[in-house]
Amino acid sequence: MPRITEERLQDRRASIIAAARQVFAEKGYEQSAINDIAQIAGTSDGLIYHYFDGKKGLLVEVIDSVYRNLIEGTESAIAEQTDFRGMLTVLVDRHVHSFADDPDLSRLFIAEIRNFDDHADSAGNRLNHVYSSVFLRVLAKGVEEGKVSGKLDPRLVRDIFFGGIKQLALRHISDGVPLEVASVTRQVVAFLIGGLAATDA
């Protein structure tokens, strides 16, 4: 039997993860089955178990890929900006897009994954902290430029930002109403710029 190359192995894993992402998003985690994923990936249940530790292991991989792509894309986009407002606008736009572009997957993250007993200690939660730390760095840039008050608790601002967008997204997803990314981004940026402004700026 010919040996499977590393490239072929990675392709197989990627196709299975992509299939799992689709099935989890469409059916929810509890209603999904390995067989559903195998059919979409064009492989067998046994091969999936060969590469992954069952359905939960696949979910971990899906979460990991989503966060890593989001972090990498956001970091890259922010790096192209030179000032606080530009960085903040890009970050808000990408974050809102992450909900608007895939509402089914967003529902999975908001309604199911965070309710898992082991979520707090999971790799996905750690990646979430890495992602949210990007916001803290952008906020620090605002303080450095004198656009943001240094008296504010950055963690409080971070929690308000991510919590607020999550609630907004959940409402739109539940109502079946698409998020208008440009409008939401404009309003959130205006709200933050005004509310965070240093009094002596």
Q: Read off the CATH number of the domain in which 141 is found.
A: 1.10.357.10
pTM: 0.83
Instruction: Clarify whether residues 89 and 182 are in a common domain.
Output: yes
Question: Are 70 and 98 in contact, with CB atoms under 8 Å apart?
Answer: yes
Instruction: Clarify whether residues 45 and 78 are in a common domain.
Output: no
Domain count across the chain? 2
Q: Residue 201: what pLDDT?
A: 42
Q: Residue 120: what pLDDT?
A: 47
Instruction: Clarify whether residues 107 and 192 are in a common domain.
Output: yes
Distance from the Cα of residue 21 to its chain's centroid: 13
Q: Which residue ranges in the chain fall short of pLDDT 70?
A: 1-4, 111-124, 198-201
Element (H, E) at 35: helix 34-41
Instruction: Clarify whether residues 46 and 6 are in a common domain.
Output: yes
